Amino acid sequence: MPSLKFTYKRLFIISAFLLSLMGILFIYSAGTYWSSIHYEGQMPFYLKQLIYLILAIAVFLTVANMPTFTMEKTWITLYVFSLILLVLVLVPGIGLVRNGSQSWIGLGPLTIQPAELAKITTLMYLSFLLGKVKNDERVVQIKHFLIIILPCALIMLQPDFGSVFILVVSAFILLFIARYPIKLYVGFIVMGVIGLIALIASAPYRLKRIEAFINPWEDPLGSGFQAVQSLLAIGPAGLLGHGFQESRQKFLYLPEPQNDFIFSIILEEIGFLGGCVVLVLFGLFIYSGCGLALQSLKSSDFYAISALVGMVGFQACLNIGVVIGLIPVTGVTLPFISYGGTSLMIIWFVVAIVVGFANRTNSV
């Protein structure tokens, strides 16, 4: 059994590292031209991402070996801290506005996105609660609901619908795994659908995204632009693609190809088979993460690992679904691969937390 646990952990870390390396490789291919045009004289994206990866691995090595991050008190404190950050990011002069959303806090040359931390702290705090109390008591259920809704409400004020969607779905997955009463679970889903409809109705641009999803060619230079350019990248690529660095859509056709739509460039350059390699790596990451969860000796550990692995897996599916036209554009990055220091640091923080719980299991 110990060797099996070690195999799961090793596979979990290796798949994460290979996905990160693939990210640097395709950020180099996809973002170099965009960087030279829009950020002339600055450090190229791929070099920044390499530095971020080195820092992220340093964070991983530190956090994975700190028992503090397997304790409930730590996550209660971090949950409250993340709520404070979500409030601060809305304060003019503290929060930075990018692409219409006030979602970042500037710390000198660095920026942090509180919503990314809030997703983790909410799921972790909820996991510990689910592991120690019965879920059929009304007071407990209300507490669980408030723990989820508080960060979601603050994130929507930015607004950042993508982060809210990931958090809500990940929380629902966690509640389902914890065998939450089906009637209440259905009630949450109904409330979620009503909330989704209200959010779409309150912001015309969200309705345009849905219309663009249904028929992106109706407005190919407006609301359907990203979807159309992504499909134009993927369609002609075929089985093997055009070859590494041979993308055509990265030349100012697909906006910021190193970010949300980097999977389009991967498919365009190394084709369907190359895309399958990415899917296999994510599959191995999820499979090994589930293996680590099943080896847990405490229910709270099982819920925590399952929630975090489920969150990463769902975010990957959401991004890929957007890129290939199965889901409306949501502005969600591809974990490990998309360019961004905050997202890379946070995702390796997640890996570290999971490994930390696995280490605790192995030491018992």
Q: Residue 363 pLDDT > 60, yes or no?
A: no
CA 279/CA 285 separation, integer angstroms: 10
Q: At residue 104, does pLDDT exceed 90?
A: no
Say what the pLDDT of residue 350 is: 96
| Residue 364 pLDDT | 42
Mean pLDDT over the full length of the chain: 86
pLDDT, residue 247, reads 87
Give me the pLDDT at residue 95, please: 82
Q: Bridge partners of 95?
A: 92, 105
Give CA–CA dist 5/122, Å, rounded: 27
Question: Per-residue pLDDT for 289 more than 80?
Answer: yes
C-alpha neighbours within 13 Å on the C-beta side of residue 207: 8
How far apart CA 126 and CA 143 sit, in angstroms, is 9
Across 67-71, 134-138, 140-144, 227-231, the highest mean pLDDT is recorded for 67-71
152 or 202, which is more confident? 152
Mean of pLDDT values over 124-146: 81
Where do the structural domains in the chain lie, given as residue ranges?
Answer: 2-363
pLDDT at 3 (0 to 100):
53
The two structure tokens encoding residue 189? 């889903």
Question: At 27, which amino acid appears?
Answer: I
Measured CA to CA, the distance from residue 219 to residue 329 in angstroms comes to: 14
pTM of the model: 0.89
